[in-house]
Amino acid sequence: MELKPGYKQTEVGVIPEEWDTAPCSEVSERIMVGIVIRPTQYYVNNGVPAFRSANIREEGINDLDLVFISEESNAVLAKSQTQTGDVLTVRTGYPGTSAVVYSRHEGCNCIDILITRPSKKLDSEWLAIWINSPFGKEQVLRNQGGLAQKHFNVGDMRNLVVALPPLSEQRAIAAALSDVDGLLGGLDRLIAKKRDLKQAAMQQLLTGQTRLPGFEGEWEVKRLGSLLHKGRLGGNYANQDEEAELPLMKMGNLARGYFDLSKVQFITPGSVPDVTHRLVFGDVLFNTRNTLDLVGKVAIWRDELPVAYYNSNLMRLEFDPEQVCSNQYANYALNTDSAVSGLRGLATGTTSVAAIYTRDLMKLQIIVPPLPEQTAIAEVLTEMDAELATLTQRREKTRALKQAMMQELLTGRTRLEGCLADVGNGQATAQESHA
For residue range 153-194, what is the model confidence (pLDDT) as tens digits? 999 999 999 999 999 999 999 999 999 999 999 999 999 999
Least confident of 17-31, 81-95, 138-152: 138-152
Q: What is the pLDDT of residue 290?
A: 87
Quick check: 322 and 227 in contact, CB under 8 A?
Answer: no
- pLDDT reading at 292 higher than 90: no
Question: What is the C-alpha separation between 418 and 435, in angstroms, rounded?
Answer: 19
Quick check: 35 and 109 in contact, CB under 8 A?
Answer: yes
Structurally, how many domains does the chain consist of?
2
User: What is the helix (H) or strand (E) element at residue 188, kind and residue range?
Assistant: helix 167-205
Residue 231 and residue 154 share a domain:
no
Please report, for the domain that includes residue 76, its CATH number. Answer: 3.90.220.20
Cα three-residue angle 262-128-22, rounded to 5 degrees: 125
* Residue 407 located in a structural domain: no
* Residue 4 located in a structural domain: no
User: Residue 89 is part of which domain span?
Assistant: 24-164
* Residue 380 located in a structural domain: no
Residue 251 and residue 144 share a domain:
no
- pLDDT reading at 149 higher than 60: no
Average pLDDT over residues 106-117: 97
- pLDDT reading at 241 higher than 80: no
Question: What is the C-alpha separation between 416 and 403, in angstroms, rounded?
Answer: 17
Residue 151 and residue 33 share a domain:
yes
- pLDDT reading at 281 higher than 80: yes
Residue 263 and residue 347 share a domain:
yes
CA atoms within 13 A on the CB side of 218: 3
Question: What is the C-alpha separation between 15 and 410, in angstroms, rounded?
Answer: 8
Residue 35 and residue 155 share a domain:
yes
* Residue 137 located in a structural domain: yes
Average pLDDT over residues 216-235: 92
Domain boundary among 319, 335, 368: 368
* Residue 273 located in a structural domain: yes
User: What is the DSSP pairing of strand 247-249 with strand 309-310?
Assistant: parallel
Residue 154 and residue 231 share a domain:
no
Buried b / exposed e over 25-50, threshold 16 CB at 10 Å, is eebbeebebbbeeebeebeeeebbbb
| pLDDT level of residue 242 (50, 70, 90 thresholds) | low
Least confident of 1-5, 102-106, 373-377, 406-410: 1-5
In the chain, pLDDT over 90 holds for what percent of residues?
75
* Residue 171 located in a structural domain: no
* Residue 413 located in a structural domain: no
| DSSP string computed for 217-271 | S--EEEEHHHHEEEEEE-B---EESS--SSEEE-GGGB-SBSB--SS-EEEPTT-
Domain boundary among 368, 387, 405: 368
Residue 349 and residue 229 share a domain:
yes
Residue 139 and residue 37 share a domain:
yes
Residue 364 and residue 254 share a domain:
yes
Q: What is the pLDDT of residue 350?
A: 79
Q: What is the pLDDT of residue 146?
A: 46
Question: 113, 111, 66: which is closest to 88 by C-alpha?
Answer: 113
Average pLDDT over residues 85-89: 98
Residue 232 and residue 153 share a domain:
no
Residue 355 and residue 269 share a domain:
yes
Cα three-residue angle 32-35-40, rounded to 5 degrees: 170
Least confident of 40-49, 54-63, 296-305, 418-427: 418-427
Q: What is the pLDDT of residue 435?
A: 42
Residue 343 and residue 243 share a domain:
yes
* Residue 385 located in a structural domain: no
User: What is the helix (H) or strand (E) element at residue 392, kind and residue range?
Assistant: helix 371-409
Domain boundary among 316, 347, 368: 368
